[in-house]
């Protein structure tokens, strides 16, 4: 038996610590890390079965040019030459990187630096755009910086949990267990706001099955109620929050209990119960996830939640905060390095002084001067021929992007596609001119940041298989070959980490909360031994915010008009995860035990809708939307709202001819964040 290694789970943004003990060739015993603050030794089903996913089945182990094996030198030279030639002929905005919340922070940092400081474009976006970019935009509007103002410790202090658009029991199981532990110990209450009756609702004190897309009305109604009942913290507002003109007046009309109940389509008595619970429990944590973020009004929905917390002073105190829980293991690390097209680096935006500051720090020859293309627009750019070379790292957009069929066509027509991945044959690698074998979980070495801003180490358990290499190494080798070797002279992840830490503090003057200056000169051994830590302490505990005047902002948001149920598309398609699968199943699909939970993709339909449509349990139904169609086996579920369908996101061409949810959502996005509205696609279903 080898020595136990403390590392971090490969999957969700809870960021659980794992004790991994290699016990043979590509074999490892997995246990929860009892000393990790995120999970205290607990693991969910996905984390528990990590050991079943570390084999080399299906791995990409060699660089490939087309279908031919190539040396690293040849493959990297080709990538560097084609990017250089494309930029020389068509300019820096003719190339793009599409990266991933699966990357480690060090990988993300090097890719972001190459694109924004040396190529001179901000056309680097990430699959985190699909996951939490509305939370980012909402945080910036409310607080001045993308700061999550909560930690898991707040779950141990709250008296009321409001879960909005989050099947926490399945998608963030260890967070859910912590909520349940607090409820068992203290009697804390749980309200779930979700159009579907999910497993998270089973033990809730109240479930509000609201009409999809009415979260703004619900939260504005709650805020109006707080005004009427004297729950607004006037002293806190006067000292710490800017209120736009006309804000309170806008809440006077149409936010009474009866009107809100009608708009949200919930019983008035249930709505009143929610209001009463909110009034009775000042220590409230409102956790929100994809039901809020993946909406065409996601940013407004985030701000509607933040407004309630700011107006009632339920922020910056133990057990009181709005809390965006992230989907991916390192969505937060990507945000910290600036891995979104809409941010620059270290939580800086594209303000001229920030561009100059980062340019000085990097000694950058050609800084990006404006935000780049966000995911949907980026692939539209590929489709329209404006992007002529794209490098996709650790993600599978041919499955996961909305209107995935169009993304496939775009990649098929793109002159140069590079894919770095651990898997040889994915729906995306099929379009690659060059495939580069990347290190996977259990081989990678670096850091990730979880939902509560806690940074933990992922550590290697095995030597690199075949010719696989870490992503940071692959990107820096391309940077070197493009002529910038001096700027990409990293020998190990710790070199990248130190530079990232220095940049976070570089001429910061305390303007941003994100600041890792204590790590700027960390030694290699100390980096290797790094214990999980959170940056930012308890944000806003001093009632000061990282805005020019130090005040947070209420943001006036209005409920958008609702869709017409009598249109040609009489139903609404909602999409999401299953408990035991992750993304496009490249890893979890390897585990027989995880496969047992749901063996195939199902469309969930309310029994009365099914009766109307002539569908029975186990039938095959065609689900059609304006973008496409796919076949699913029918599952009758009384937990569905009437008129709603639900399908899982995971299945791909590799696993199934049907169940292709990615083909169905429209490529429409929130106007502030660019996040696609996966949750509310006009649809119909019919028996085949
Ligand atoms: Fe891994 Fe998330 Fe499960 Fe924790 S809750 S074990 S991070 S999948």
- The 8-class DSSP code of residue 286 comes to E
d(CA 458, CA 421): 18
**CA-to-CA distance for 665 and 649, rounded, in angstroms?**
11
* Of residues 190, 201, 398, the one with CA closest to residue 287: 190
pLDDT tens string 405-414: 999 999 999 9
> From CA 264, how far away is CA 477, in angstroms rounded?
53
Nearest CA to 261 among 251, 250, 275? 275
Q: Mean per-residue pLDDT for 449-459? A: 97
Q: What's the Rg (C-alpha) of the chain? A: 24
Beta strands in 124-199 (DSSP E): 124-126, 160-164, 189-193
Helical (H) or strand (E) element with 79: helix 72-90
243 lines ligand 1 (CB under 6 A): no
Q: How many Å apart are CA 534 and CA 521, to the nearest integer? A: 18
Q: Is 64-125+333-339+348-490 a domain of CATH 3.40.50.740?
A: yes
Predicted local confidence at residue 564, as pLDDT = 64
**Strand 241-242 with 5-8, pairing:** unpaired
Residues 484 and 184: beta-carbon distance below 8 Å: no
What's the rounded mean pLDDT across residues 568-583? Answer: 89
The mean pLDDT value for 37-61 works out to 95
Those residues whose C-beta lies under 8 Å from the C-beta of residue 241, and which sit 6 or more positions away, are: 310, 311, 551, 552, 553, 554
Ligand 1 atom 3: residue of nearest CA: 44
469 CA → ligand 1 middle, Å: 25
Pocket of ligand 1 contains residue 16 by CB under 6 Å: yes
E-only strand ranges, 389-451: 389-393, 416-421, 434-437, 446-449
678 HSE (CA, 13 A, CB side)? 28
Per-residue CA distances from 286 to 40, 150, 267, 455, 539 (Å): 22, 10, 21, 22, 16
CA 583–ligand 1 middle distance (angstroms): 13
Query: Which atom of ligand 1 is closest in space to residue 18's alpha carbon?
Result: 6
Tokens of 673: 């964040």
- In the Cβ-directed half-sphere of 683, how many Cα atoms lie within 13 Å? 30
Strand partners, 247: none
Tell me if 344 CB under 6 Å of ligand 1: no
For residue 123, the number of C-alpha atoms closer than 13 Å in the C-beta half-sphere is 25
- What is the pLDDT at residue 481? 98
pLDDT band at 567 (very low <50, low <70, confident <90, very high): confident
Each residue's pLDDT tens digit, 594-638: 888 888 999 999 999 999 999 999 999 999 999 999 999 999 999
Q: Which atom of ligand 1 is nearest to the CA of 12?
A: 2
β-pairing, 681-687 vs 571-576, is antiparallel
* Mean pLDDT of all residues in 297-309: 98
CATH of 133-325, one of 3.40.50.1370, 3.40.50.300, 3.30.1300.10, 3.40.228.10: 3.40.228.10
Higher-pLDDT residue of 670 and 250 is 670
Summarize pLDDT for 425-438 with one digit per residue, the tens: 999 999 999 999 99
pLDDT at residue 565, rounded to an integer: 61
Closest ligand 1 atom to 172 CA: 5
Measured distance CA(591)–CA(580) in Å, rounded: 10
Collapsed DSSP state (helix, strand, coil) of residue 296: coil
Q: CA 399, CA 386: separation in Å to the nearest integer? A: 22
DSSP state of 535: S
Q: What is the DSSP string of 304-349?
A: HHHHHHHHTT-SSBTTBEEEEPPSSTTHHHHHHHT-STT--BTTB-
- The answer on pLDDT for 228 being more than 80 is yes
Kind plus residue range of the DSSP H or E element containing 683: strand 681-687
Q: State the distance from the centre of ligand 1 to the C-alpha of 42, rounded, in angstroms.
A: 9
Q: Would the pLDDT of 563 be above 80? A: no
245: burial class by Cβ within 10 Å (0-12, 13-18, 19+)?
exposed
Same topology for domains 64-125+333-339+348-490 and 571-687, yes or no? no
Q: Which atom of ligand 1 is nearest the CA belonging to 582?
A: 8
Instruction: Identify the pLDDT of residue 611.
Output: 97
Residue 566 pLDDT > 70, yes or no?
no
173 alpha carbon – ligand 1 mean position (Å): 7
Rounded to 5°, the CA angle 398-384-663 comes to: 30
The pLDDT of 367-373, averaged and rounded, is: 98
DSSP 3-state of 128: helix
Q: What is the pLDDT of residues 317-330, one digit of tens each?
A: 999 999 999 888 89
Q: How confident is the model at residue 61 (pLDDT cuts 50, 70, 90)?
A: very high
Whether 419 and 392 have beta carbons less than 8 Å apart is answered as: yes
Q: What is the 15 CA–ligand 1 centroid distance (Å)?
A: 6
CA distance 132 to 113: 22
Ligand 1 atom nearest residue 173's Cα: 5
Residue whose C-alpha is closest to residue 215's, from 307, 325, 297: 297
Measured distance CA(611)–CA(687) in Å, rounded: 11
Average pLDDT, the chain: 95
Does CATH number 2.40.40.20 belong to domain 571-687?
yes
Task: Indicate whether 458 pLDDT > 60.
Answer: yes
Position 267 scores a pLDDT of 98
- pLDDT at 595 (0 to 100): 84
- Structural domain boundaries in the chain: 5-53, 64-125+333-339+348-490, 133-325, 571-687
Helix and strand numbers (H, E) in the chain are: 24, 26
Whether pLDDT at 355 is above 60: yes
Confidence bin at 107 (pLDDT 50/70/90): very high
Is there an atom of ligand 1 within 6 Å of 436 CB?
no
Choose which residue among 7, 8, 9 to substitute to test ligand 1 binding: the one with the highest number of ligand atoms within 8 A of its C-beta: 9
Q: Copy the structure tokens of residue 666.
A: 């429209």
Q: Is the ipTM of this complex over 0.90?
A: yes
Determine how β-strand 95-99 pairs with β-strand 124-126: parallel
Residue 152 pLDDT > 70: yes
pLDDT, position 182: 98
Counting atoms of ligand 1 from 1, which one is nearest the CA of 9? 1
Indicate if the pLDDT at residue 1 is higher than 60: no
What is the CB neighbour count within 10 angstroms for residue 311? 25
Asked whether the predicted pLDDT for residue 463 surpasses 80, the reply is yes
Beta bridge partners of 480: none
Q: What share of the chain is helix, strand, coil (3-state, %, to 5)?
A: 35, 20, 45
- Residue of 7, 11, 442 to mutate, ligand 1, most atoms within 8 A of C-beta: 11
CATH class of segment(s) 5-53: alpha beta
CA of 580 to the centre of ligand 1 (A): 10
The pair of three-digit structure tokens given for residue 123, joined into one six-digit string: 């056309």
**According to the model, what pLDDT value does residue 580 have?**
86
Categorize the per-residue pLDDT at 2 as very low, low, confident or very high, splitting at 50, 70 and 90. Answer: confident
Confidence check: pLDDT of 346 > 80: yes
Q: Is 165 left (phi over 0), alpha (psi -120 to 50) or beta?
A: left
Measure the CA–CA gap between 51 and 46, rounded to whole angstroms.
Answer: 10
SS (H, E, C) 215-252: HHHHHHHHHHHHHHCCCCCHHHHHHHEECCCCHHHHHH
Among 97-101, 125-129, 163-167, 593-597, which is the least confidently predicted range? 593-597
- Between the CA of 179 and the centroid of ligand 1 the distance, in Å, is 15
Place of tokens 């990293």: 490
Cα–Cα dist 389/92, whole Å: 10
**H or E element at residue 382:** helix 375-383
Strand segments, DSSP code E, in 462-618 are: 533-534, 552-553, 571-576, 602-605
In whole angstroms, what is the distance from residue 661 CA to residue 658 CA? Answer: 9
Please give the Cα distance from 526 to 540 (Å, whole number).
Answer: 30
The answer for residues whose C-beta is within 8 angstroms of residue 580's C-beta and 6 or more apart is: 45, 46, 588, 594, 595, 596, 597, 598
CA–CA gap between residue 537 and residue 524 (Å, rounded): 25
pLDDT confidence of residue 528: 97
**In the numeric block, which tokens belong to residue 270?**
């249930």
- Strands of the sheet containing 389-393, edge to edge, are 68-69, 64-65, 434-437, 416-421, 389-393, 95-99, 124-126
Mean pLDDT, range 126-139, rounded to an integer: 96
């Amino acid at each position: 038996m080898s020595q136990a290694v403390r590392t971090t789970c490969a999957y969700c943004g809870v960021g659980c610590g794992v004790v991994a003990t290699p016990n043979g060739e590509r074999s490892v015993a997995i246990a929860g890390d009892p000393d990790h603050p995120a999970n205290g030794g607990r693991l969910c089903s996905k984390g528990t079965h990590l050991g079943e996913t570390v084999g080399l089945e299906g791995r990409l182990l060699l660089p490939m040019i087309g279908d031919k094996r190539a040396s690293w030198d040849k493959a990297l030279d080709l990538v560097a030459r084609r990017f250089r030639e494309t930029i020389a002929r068509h300019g820096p905005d003719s190339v793009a990187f599409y990266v991933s919340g699966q990357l480690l922070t060090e990988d993300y940092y090097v890719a972001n630096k190459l694109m924004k400081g040396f190529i001179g474009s901000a056309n680097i976006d990430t699959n985190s755009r699909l996951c939490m970019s509305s939370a980012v935009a909402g945080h910036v509007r409310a607080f001045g910086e993308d700061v999550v103002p909560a930690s898991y410790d707040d779950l141990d202090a709250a008296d009321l949990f409001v879960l909005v658009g989050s099947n926490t029991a399945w998608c963030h199981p260890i967070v859910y267990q912590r909520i349940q532990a607090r409820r068992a110990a203290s009697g804390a209450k749980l309200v779930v706001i979700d159009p579907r009756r999910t497993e998270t609702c089973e033990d809730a004190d109240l479930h509000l099955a609201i009409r999809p897309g009415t979260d703004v009305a619900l939260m504005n109604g709650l805020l109006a109620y707080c005004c009427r009942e004297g729950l607004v913290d006037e002293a806190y507002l006067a000292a710490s929050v800017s209120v736009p003109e006309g804000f309170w007046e806008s809440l006077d009309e149409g936010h009474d209990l009866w009107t809100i109940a009608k708009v949200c389509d919930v019983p008035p008595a249930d709505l009143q119960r929610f209001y009463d619970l909110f009034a009775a429990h000042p220590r409230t944590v409102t956790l929100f996830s994809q039901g809020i973020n993946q909406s065409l009004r996601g940013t407004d929905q985030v701000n509607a939640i933040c407004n309630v917390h700011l107006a009632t002073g339920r922020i910056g105190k133990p057990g009181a905060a709005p809390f965006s829980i992230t989907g991916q293991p390192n969505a937060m690390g990507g945000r910290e390095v600036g891995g979104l097209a809409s941010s620059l680096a270290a939580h800086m935006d594209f303000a001229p002084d920030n561009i100059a500051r980062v340019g000085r720090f990097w000694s950058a020859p050609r800084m990006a001067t404006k935000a780049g293309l966000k995911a949907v627009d980026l692939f539209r750019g590929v489709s329209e021929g404006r992007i002529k070379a794209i490098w996709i790292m650790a993600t599978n957009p041919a499955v996961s992007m909305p209107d995935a069929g169009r993304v496939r066509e775009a990649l098929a027509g793109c002159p140069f596609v590079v894919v770095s991945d651990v898997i040889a044959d994915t729906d995306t690698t099929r379009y690659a001119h060059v495939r580069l074998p990347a290190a996977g979980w259990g081989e990678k070495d670096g850091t990730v940041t979880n939902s509560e801003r806690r940074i933990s180490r992922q550590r290697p358990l095995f030597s690199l298989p075949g010719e696989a290499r870490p992503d940071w190494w692959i990107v820096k080798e391309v940077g070197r070959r493009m002529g910038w070797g001096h700027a990409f002279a990293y020998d190990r992840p710790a070199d990248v980490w130190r530079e990232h830490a220095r940049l976070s503090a570089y001429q910061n003057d305390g303007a941003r909360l994100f600041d890792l200056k204590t790590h700027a000169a960390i030694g290699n051994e100390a980096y290797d031994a790094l214990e999980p830590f959170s940056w930012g302490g308890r944000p806003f505990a001093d009632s000061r915010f990282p805005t020019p005047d130090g005040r947070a902002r209420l943001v006036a948001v209005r409920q958008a008009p609702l869709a017409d149920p009598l249109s040609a598309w009489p139903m609404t398609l909602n999409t999401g995860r299953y408990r035991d699968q992750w993304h496009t199943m490249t890893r979890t699909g390897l585990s027989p035990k995880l496969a047992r939970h749901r063996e195939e993709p199902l469309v969930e339909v309310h029994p009365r809708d099914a009766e109307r449509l002539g569908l029975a349990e186990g039938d095959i139904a065609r689900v059609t939307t304006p973008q496409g169609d796919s076949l699913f086996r029918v599952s009758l579920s009384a937990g569905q709202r009437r008129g709603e369908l639900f399908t899982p996101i995971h299945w791909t061409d590799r696993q199934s001819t049907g169940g292709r949810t990615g083909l169905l959502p429209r490529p429409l996005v929130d106007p502030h964040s660019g996040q696609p509205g996966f949750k509310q696609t006009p649809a119909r279903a019919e028996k085949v």
